[in-house]
Chains A and B, each alone.
Chain A
Amino acid sequence: MPEPIQKKVCMIGSYGVGKTSLVRRFVESIFDERYQTTIGVKIDRKRVVVDETELNLILWDLAGEDELAQIRDSHVRGASGFILVADGCRAATLERAVSLRQLLGKPVAGIPFVLAINKADRAADWEIPASSLEELARTGWRLLSTSAKTGDGVESLFETLARSMLTSMQDRAVDGI
């Protein structure tokens, strides 16, 4: 069995959207209703097998962006993929996710990412209009609806990103990069 391929994955988004909860659900199958803010970076690991390839995902859960914390370039550098997270019940968090993608610029240019619209368990309270999501999907963004609370869409979220990272890695190998 070859050594698993190590991949750095960053979780990015506004505070309170559920980045840490998504990681905990994925890594430990746990959900805690209480909101526990993240300071700095939280590192977690999870091994996944995608298309018979074993990946060791190093999950960099970056503190939510606000006036109290800003993402450091160094935290994102070297990432193989990232997950943008928005809270379906807070329309502003989608706008923030979109602008973060642009702000991060060079360190994340060309690397795979997936947009998770979290809190699918409260879909009735969602503020984000379907038209906004359709618009992003039309521009090529991969979007998934997730619920860290129920686990819906969480495995699929990380698996989708892992598969994209593998494909990207293979493409780069073919291109000799």
Chain B
Amino acid sequence: MEFEILSALGTVVLERRDDGALVPLGPIAEWFYDIYFDIRGRETLAPALLGPFLESFLLDAENWWTANQGRLYSGVWSERNVRDEERGMEAWAIHTGTRRLLVVRLLGEEHLERKAAIQIARDRGLAHENIAAKNRALEVRSREVERLNQMKSEFLASMSHELRTPLNAIMGFSSLLEEESAGPLNSDQKRYVQHVARAAQHLLDLINDVLDLSRIEAGRIELRRENFRLGDAVHEVISTLRQLAMVKSIALAAEETAHLLDADRIRVKQILYNLLSNAIKFTPAGGRVDLTVTAEDEILTVAVADTGIGIPFEEQAAIFEKFHQVETESPAAQQGTGLGLAIARRLVEQHGGRIWVESRPGHGSRFAFTLPCRVTGESVEELPPAAHATPSGNGRARVALVEDDPAHRLLFEAMLASYYHVKVYETAHQALNGVHLDPPDVILTDVSLKGTDGIDFLRQIRADRALAGIPVIALTAHAMGGDRDRFLAAGFDHYIAKPVPERSVLINAIEPLVRRPRPSHTRDRSHA
């Protein structure tokens, strides 16, 4: 009776006889036949007819039955029935002391609930692992990007240094030849030298622009915001470009403006320079270039309008892209690097502004950009007007030049010899000995010297009480962002980036230093 009840509940009970065969106790549920269809119509069942799982379980049960009473659990398993439906089951081998039974139960709702709970737990586990794996992959990629960026920076720094070094000789000697300091040139020679100087300047512009753009795109240019008067920046840029405009008989005018900015002064000047020099370049002789400034709701709009050749509408969006130049017959286009506007756009955007152009071919162009005008009505520290220093007249100052490149030695000596007593050294070691015997008023040293480099040389000068007060100027082709600060932080009194296009750059650096009072012990020694 009890087996009929179990059967009615869907549980199958089989008794193991002494001969090893299994006999159903009570009717066998239909689901069991659906799975083990070979048993239908049989009165006794061989374990092999019950499928591999139960057959295997019965082998375990045989061992267990011989020594135990109670029940042995099979665990859950599933098989497919005749309709290819998956059915979950569990079984017990029971030893009552007198009877050995196999009880098989079809799993129902509770099994599905348990399965669902495990499924959720494992889904979560997989999701966690997936996120962790993605994070690991991102970390790897991030490290790789960082490594590539580092390689790129090192390459750019190296390229900059290697290109600036020969340019220093080309530009410097061109400048000396143009000055005719080594004797007069005939008109052809003058023209040739001017071409060399212009081509060298173009190459330097290109190097500077490429480096600038690379740094901007890599997010490596940090704006150094300060409060300054926009009008002062405009004035400085106009002063630089006035000569270029005069050569082409172009009227260059800028509206007076008293607006104050909280921005990176150097970068704002760079934007202004790029727009104004572009306008002059593409404006025919006799034209005009005007800079105007308007302010509205704390936003400044700076516009540079020209009467130049103009830009076709379809090219107006592209001109802010890298290396894009308007197709024109104008030789002016050949002078540009194709990077000036791309740099201007990125710098404006970095300041939180925007830049655009309005233009019609034959009717000129108007480039405009906006900048947030964060400071109004505050005072700005007045800067003394920039002045070109002139070499001190009485008692020529003594300059020690340390440079291992023969061409650069010759160049700098030639640039300085008319104004100073110049003593030239090829190595830091020679210079250390030399300056002890003949202390100079100022030392100009290359940084990348063979053997003891410029920084070590500086340390040794500073460590020597007799020499410590002598101003030392770094003269170097390391001219990437941060190099200037790095060398000044190392203790140099001034920093000059190569190429040095003309002697005034050296004189402007030397003069304030030789006029500066120095500690008495070094001064005494120098006049001993």
B123 pairs with A39, CB closer than 8 A: no
If A16-B122, A64-B122, A78-B59 touch, whether A40 touches B129 (CB-CB below 8 Å) is: no
B77 pairs with A42, CB closer than 8 A: yes
The docked-state distance in angstroms from the alpha carbon of A89 to that of B132 is: 11
If A16-B126, A90-B133 touch, whether A39 touches B76 (CB-CB below 8 Å) is: yes
B51 pairs with A39, CB closer than 8 A: no
Cβ-based interface call for B53 (8 A) = yes
B77 pairs with A127, CB closer than 8 A: no
Cβ-based interface call for B137 (8 A) = yes
Chain B hits for A40, CB < 8 A: 75-78, 88, 90
Cβ-based interface call for B184 (8 A) = no
Cβ-based interface call for B56 (8 A) = yes
Distance to closest chain B CB from A84 (angstroms) = 19
The docked-state distance in angstroms from the alpha carbon of A69 to that of B77 is: 13
State the interface size on chain A (CB cutoff 8 A). Answer: 28
Cβ-based interface call for B118 (8 A) = yes
The docked-state distance in angstroms from the alpha carbon of A58 to that of B77 is: 14
B57 pairs with A43, CB closer than 8 A: no
For A41, give the chain B residue with the smallest CB separation. Answer: B77
The docked-state distance in angstroms from the alpha carbon of A39 to that of B116 is: 10
Chain A hits for B60, CB < 8 A: 74, 77
Chain B hits for A77, CB < 8 A: 56, 60
Q: Per-residue 0/1 for B72-87: is the Cβ within 8 Å of any A Cβ (1 yes, 0 no)?
A: 0001111110000010
State the interface size on chain B (CB cutoff 8 A). Answer: 30
Chain A hits for B59, CB < 8 A: 78
Cβ-based interface call for B121 (8 A) = yes
Within 8 A of A (CB), among B419-452: none
Distance to closest chain B CB from A63 (angstroms) = 8
Distance to closest chain A CB from B512 (angstroms) = 61
Distance to closest chain B CB from A76 (angstroms) = 10
The docked-state distance in angstroms from the alpha carbon of A15 to that of B120 is: 12
Cβ-based interface call for B115 (8 A) = yes
Cβ-based interface call for A44 (8 A) = yes
The docked-state distance in angstroms from the alpha carbon of A89 to that of B126 is: 11
A37 in complex: contacting residue of B51, B76, B118, CB < 8 Å: B118
Chain A hits for B136, CB < 8 A: 127
Chain B hits for A36, CB < 8 A: 119
Chain B hits for A72, CB < 8 A: 75
Chain B hits for A69, CB < 8 A: 118
Q: Per-residue 0/1 for A29-49: is the Cβ within 8 Å of any B Cβ (1 yes, 0 no)?
A: 000000111011111100000
B75 in complex: contacting residue of A8, A41, A78, A127, CB < 8 Å: A41
B125 pairs with A15, CB closer than 8 A: yes
For A59, give the chain B residue with the smallest CB separation. Answer: B52
Within 8 A of A (CB), among B29-78: 51-53, 56-57, 59-60, 75-78
A39 pairs with B125, CB closer than 8 A: no
The docked-state distance in angstroms from the alpha carbon of A95 to that of B52 is: 30
The docked-state distance in angstroms from the alpha carbon of A118 to that of B76 is: 26
B51 in complex: contacting residue of A43, A66, A78, CB < 8 Å: A43
A15 in complex: contacting residue of B79, B90, B115, B122, CB < 8 Å: B122
Q: Could you list 18 A-B pairs, sorted by A, with CB under 8 Å?
A: A16-B122, A35-B123, A39-B78, A39-B88, A39-B114, A39-B115, A40-B78, A40-B90, A41-B53, A42-B77, A43-B51, A43-B53, A60-B53, A64-B122, A69-B118, A90-B129, A92-B129, A127-B133
**Chain A interface residues toward B at CB < 8 A:** 8, 15-16, 35-37, 39-44, 58, 60, 64, 66, 68-69, 72, 74-75, 77-78, 89-90, 92, 125, 127
**Chain B interface residues toward A at CB < 8 A:** 51-53, 56-57, 59-60, 75-80, 86, 88, 90, 111, 114-115, 118-119, 121-123, 125-126, 129, 133, 136-137
Further contacts, 10 of them, CB under 8 A, given A37-B122, A78-B59: A8-B52, A16-B126, A37-B115, A39-B76, A42-B86, A43-B53, A43-B78, A43-B79, A74-B56, A78-B56
